Structure 1
Amino acid sequence: MIKYFIIFVIAAVISFAATPFVKKLAFRLNAIDVPNSERRVHKKPIPRMGGLAMYISFVIVSLGFYGANKQVIGIIIGATILVVMGIIDDRRELPPLYKLIAQIAAGVVLIIFGITVKSITVPFMNEYLYIGYWGIPITLVWVVGITNAINLIDGLDGLACGISFISSTTLFCVALISQRDVAIILTLILSGACLGFLYYNFNPASIFMGDTGSQFLGFVLAAISIQGAIKSVTTVAVVVPILAIGLPIYDTLFAMLRRKLNNKPMMSADRGHLHHKLLDRGLSQKRTVILMYIISMIMGLLSIIAMILPTKTSFMLFMFVCLFAYVFGRKIGILRQE
């Protein structure tokens, strides 16, 4: 456990130390977020591209600990593709299609390096179904979906970073239970990188992670949840990974359904996300973020419980959470037609 603690601290310190330099670089590159729409909740220009600090920390500590490990290299190459795309997007907004192409390319890298979904859990049965080449499109959908989920929830100071910290910590516990060494270390590094950056990103934020950070965090969480290999996590069989990264996933699914009901393009922006609804109900930015942290921690705890429970019981727990999320979403107005 001392080794784990040291790795976590090193990742946090590097991220913390790198952020001021990334902030200066963002100003030089004119990667600045100017509040020019009603969706923006900040009032003054703030530098973006802060995710570069977390990326630097993750790469340094991962390579320092694992060296030329094949799967770690694959994750780093895929993350690099999205970080480069994110930096460009933080300087001048890219069309959604360009981002999608980069996300698919990063997913393809994972597949080339052997990180892919190979089987799925049969619901309510303690059996796995080998899916062969079907694992390739499922892997790509998972990577693109989680990457965009973190990107969409990045709407308030410290929200996406804090939730990613909670999700990576949850996946650390899950990997620890299943004794998956690589996943244990990578989740520790990622959570440390998130915590080091969160000091600057929490309300009132002095720097945003930008697409550089949200794309990086979403991709790495997706990759680790596949590589993490255990019962439900390796298979991406619905229960453990969806609960572990639950809040961004549900918020994204609700956004897709809401836009479908409103006959709006899937990639269009709106103020219907959970954090917007909580703000509209009078909560401050800080209270909204803390409340969403709590929800994310509860879902993380449920994912750990689901990991321990028999498969049938895990699916029953998952179905209950889905039903509760749907009822809560309707109650708070996330699905309401505009």
Structure 2
Amino acid sequence: MVIMAAFLVAYIATPSAGHLAAHMGMVAKPGYRRIHQKLIPQGAGVAIYLAFWLAVAIWHYGFKQSVAPHWLSLFTGSTLILILGLVDDKYELSPIWKLAGQLGVVTYVVLSGHCIEFVTNPLGGMIHVGRWGIPLTILWITAVINMVNLIDGLDGLAAGVSGIACLSLAIVALEAGRPEMVPITLMLAGAAFGFLPHNFNPARVFMGDTGAMFLGLMLGTITVDGALKGAAAIALTVPFLALGVPVFDTAFAIIRRLLTHRPIYKGDQQHLHHGLLAIGLTQRQSVLVLYGVSLFLGGMAFWSVDLPVKEGLWLFVSISILAVGAARRIGVLPPVYQHSHQHQ
């Protein structure tokens, strides 16, 4: 019921959030790295934030269900990341200032109790990370924030992929012995899917950095609390598969920019969705293909939960090899030999 509440609040609030964003001058203009051809309000992702936290409040106060204290502290962290996103959507912060803001918020969240304490050893058993847990968790959550931001390049892509990832992570949390994470994760899915009808092609609103960074913060934290802190020995590859589309897209972007000797932080038009458009797919077809890939990778994440850690690692390596091959076919990754020959 609270999941439906999250969906409905997001669905109802999104048009108003879009009107408010337009009134405040938060509008995405067509440009070199933009697919759209007209002015569209951005920053409407605030509706996802409102829908999620209203659902959590109903769950906590209406149904008298307990929410871990460190999860309530996440309300502060997510509010701060929301403000950072709104400022960026309005004024277009430089990458360094945006990253500094993200690191500040994520550090607060991690120190509030959302921290990796141990990781699985591919050779068996667990490795207690000790004091390294804090910087590792900060790095992971900050990476997820930027991964979600990177895939927010086609109508409905970030919202749909994030919603699908939430469904996968809810099942993973259940398998990992963290059933208390399931309602929270499904509420986030409900909020993302409630936003989607207004954002699917042709989009009437964009979530902007406001929504993308909020979703990234929540997904990063959910993977830490729902998979990496579970009672079972969950392989590190599980959250990577559950967030497979943004993970692979970001990895390919880094590899591509290194091979072509461009700065890693400098944007381009060679992401997965650009590659699909380049081979002749429409925006809708490209997004639906990536939804399908997300569902497949989410299924693989669920399947690998019960696999021995070493076998789970081999599954991830096999999928990665297939992903590299597919990326090469659609022009997302350049041939390595071509660039090594050019720079001899």
TM-score bracket for the superposition, by shorter chain length? over 0.9
Kindly indicate whether residue 106 of structure 2 is the aligned counterpart of residue 107 of structure 1: yes
1:178 alignment counterpart:
176
Residues 131-167 of structure 1, C-alpha deviations (whole Å, 9 max, x = no match): 1000111101101111100000100000010000000
Identity %: 37
1:120 aligns to what SS in structure 2? strand
TM-score by length of 2: 0.92
Deviates further, 319-328 or 149-158: 319-328
1:62 alignment counterpart:
56
Kindly indicate whether residue 87 of structure 2 is the aligned counterpart of residue 88 of structure 1: yes
Q: Choose from 44, 47, 52 the match for 1:50.
A: 44
Cα distance, 1:196 vs. partner? 0.5
Provide the rounded CA distance (Å) in 1 between the counterparts of 2:232 and 2:22.
41
Q: CA 1:92–1:234 in 2, change beyond 3 Å: closer, same or farther?
A: farther
Kindly indicate whether residue 188 of structure 2 is the aligned counterpart of residue 190 of structure 1: yes
Provide the rounded CA distance (Å) in 1 between the counterparts of 2:307 and 2:50.
37
Residues 270-318 of structure 1, C-alpha deviations (whole Å, 9 max, x = no match): 0110100110111000000000100111000000000122222211111
2:119 aligns to what SS in structure 1? strand
2:14 alignment counterpart:
19
5 Å matches for 1:1-338? Answer: 6-35=1-30, 37-66=31-60, 69-125=68-124, 127-229=125-227, 237-336=235-334
1:129 aligns to what SS in structure 2? strand
Provide the rounded CA distance (Å) in 1 between the counterparts of 2:123 and 2:237.
11
One-letter amino acid of the structure 2 residue matched with residue 320 of structure 1: S
Provide the rounded CA distance (Å) in 2 between the counterparts of 1:202 and 1:223.
26
* Conserved 8 A contact 1:115-1:226: yes
Deviates further, 231-240 or 154-163: 231-240
Provide the rounded CA distance (Å) in 1 between the counterparts of 2:295 and 2:231.
18
1:184 aligns to what SS in structure 2? helix
Structure 1: tracts of 5 or more residues without a match:
1-5
1:3 alignment counterpart:
none
Q: CA 1:281–1:232 in 2, change beyond 3 Å: closer, same or farther?
A: farther
Provide the rounded CA distance (Å) in 2 between the counterparts of 1:17 and 1:23.
11
Q: CA 1:161–1:330 in 2, change beyond 3 Å: closer, same or farther?
A: same
One-letter amino acid of the structure 2 residue matched with residue 99 of structure 1: K
2:127 aligns to what SS in structure 1? strand
Report how many residues are paired. Answer: 331
Provide the rounded CA distance (Å) in 2 between the counterparts of 1:235 and 1:179.
10
Cα distance, 1:117 vs. partner? 0.6
2:342 alignment counterpart:
none
Deviates further, 42-51 or 227-236: 227-236
TM-score by length of 1: 0.93
Q: CA 1:17–1:135 in 2, change beyond 3 Å: closer, same or farther?
A: same
Provide the rounded CA distance (Å) in 2 between the counterparts of 1:269 and 1:180.
37
* Conserved 8 A contact 1:117-1:235: no
Residues 224-266 of structure 1, C-alpha deviations (whole Å, 9 max, x = no match): 1101146779988531100000110110011011111122111
Provide the rounded CA distance (Å) in 2 between the counterparts of 1:199 and 1:233.
37
1:181 aligns to what SS in structure 2? coil
* Conserved 8 A contact 2:234-2:309: no
* Conserved 8 A contact 1:225-1:236: no
Q: CA 1:167–1:312 in 2, change beyond 3 Å: closer, same or farther?
A: same
Cα distance, 1:79 vs. partner? 1.3
